[in-house]
Amino acid sequence: MDPEPASPSIEPAVRIIPLGGLGEIGLNMMLLEAGEDLLAIDCGLMFPDDELPGIDHVIPDFSYLLGRRQALRGVVLTHGHEDHFGALPYLLREVEVPVYGTPLSLALARERLREHGLADRATLIPVRPREVYELGAFRVEPIRVTHSVADGIGLGIETPVGTLVHSGDFKFDQSPVDGELPDYQRLGELGERGVLLLFSDSTNVERPGHTPSERDVGRALAERFRRAPGRIILATFASHIHRIQQVLDLAAEHGRRVALLGMSMVANVRIATELGYLRVPEGVVLPLEELAELPPYRQVILSTGSQGEPHSAIALMATREHRSVQVEEGDLVILSARIIPGHERTISRVVNQFFRLGAEVLWEPAAFVHVSGHACQEELKMMLNLVRPRFFVPVHGEYRHLLFHSRLAQGLGLPRERVFVIEDGTGLEFTKTTGRVLGRFPTGRVLVDGKGIGDVGAVVLRDRELLAQDGMVVVAVTVDRGTGEIIAGPEIASRGWVYERESAAILEEAKQVIRDALGRHDPEVPMEREALRSLLRGSLRRFISQRFDRKPVVVPIILEA
């Protein structure tokens, strides 16, 4: 269904067009449209799961936005996580548009743009909380919130139809590590003045109560530092500047020194230090080579790889393949991060391997070593009560998160007809007094594989799944260029079906099946190449299916001589 045309009514209207983040975790991007002005909130990517073999990451479909590129006034980032800024390189190579965000968010985004050779041509404009700036028909005001990365903001957006509030990713931390409290006052002031529409983070809506403070993790880690007899190896997200700050402070307090592992960890510590978001105690951070010269009880290794990703430093340590760090009995390994859905088996494997090496391991949920950066139910209620919107749209979550958040809002007295549970591509239109659902807008998931963007689709993914499940068989024959007569072959090569060195008899049997199939064809009648391919593929597939109950990918190759 195509989106409805703009209303001919004189009454102004604002359209909401979600391109990502409504119906999944990650891929966050939303468009606001007022007349001839278009504004994008975030531009994030999503990391692939097991159903996307070989894919590096997923980005939103920008086709609607690119079709209106002349109307795009800017991209506003709420914070510095890749699920909110990671798709910027793919957008900015298509359209030149200014990007607004707090200094740390822009610095982290600039690093990603630099990897794509776009940092010098990008227009990145820093903003501060409560500093209002205009983007066409929109007046945007950043509002301080707390999250698991420093410098996060929500947004108050003045539009021709009223005020919209976007929470960004948030929680209400009463004792943040950097002392920057959420701006309850400003949220309340906007609510008092009147808010037409609230978009609010739904990630933790299933969790009752309040999200613990980041300082609670610091207190738990302090006890671990006090009791650890040897080296501490702690893995966390490189963007979690507050967690990194607490680790550095604890190391200094307990007479330990810290080495940083992982390119993103080194880069983010440098960036956050240069911008003043991170205070590195003097003399605490050392190169790994110098740290190794200290006794174990004075060593801390701060690393990326908290999800046990293959080839990460943590995964290599667990398998004793790291070139510089060998885990020993007496080491304490702390995975100070939540387990991202889909990584459970990887984490479990790494934890077991560390235990086999004699290390002690702490990880969520087996130990209190991490707190979420997202609001639980009581904080979500508080956001709704502060802002008191006329209409409500839950964002950032799978469908059940959005649905449960809508029920939470209705439980606070918001009428059901004023709560919209929508997913990517379903548009909304609001006037000063009304809200309605529009038709579908073009959206989807664009797969990035190496340098290819969008060139891997369902067929290729299905082939990859088949290759992983049953392998591949290549059958080759050589034909006379003039007569089409088969003069050599068939030859068969297998990967993932049978082991060739130990299966000579099976391969010979398969060749004979193909010879028999070729022999049933009238030699006086030249065979078309497509017919020959079909015969090779079909006869070999039937043999393998009947004999082994397997269905490998069969690739026929016809050579000419």
Q: Which residues are catalytic?
A: 201, 374
- Cα(78)–Cα(154) distance, integer angstroms: 6
Instruction: State the amino acid at position 526 in one-letter form.
Output: P
Concatenated DSSP letters of 337-364: SPPPTT-HHHHHHHHHHHHHTT-EEEET
Which H, E and C letters describe 156-172, residue by residue?
A: EEEECCEEEEECCCCEC
Determine phi and psi for 556, rounding to 5 degrees: -85, 135
124 beta partners:
99
Residue spans of alpha helices (H) in 36-133: 63-67, 82-85, 88-92, 103-115
Q: Are 58 and 447 in contact (CB under 8 A)?
A: yes
* Tokens describing residue 533: 């391919």
Residue among 209, 149, 162 nearest 34 (CA): 162
Q: Are 319 and 327 in contact (CB under 8 A)?
A: no
**Which residues fall within 8 angstroms of residue 427, CB to CB, at 6 or more apart?**
3, 15, 16, 17, 437, 438, 439, 440, 441
Concatenated DSSP letters of 237-290: -TT-HHHHHHHHHHHHHTT-EEEEESHHHHHHHHHHHHTTS----TT-B--HHH
How is the chain split among helix, strand and coil, in percent rounded to 5? Answer: 35, 25, 40
Q: Is the dihedral of CA 383, 384, 385, 388 positive or negative?
A: positive
CA distance between the termini of the chain? 54
- Cα(507)–Cα(518) distance, integer angstroms: 17
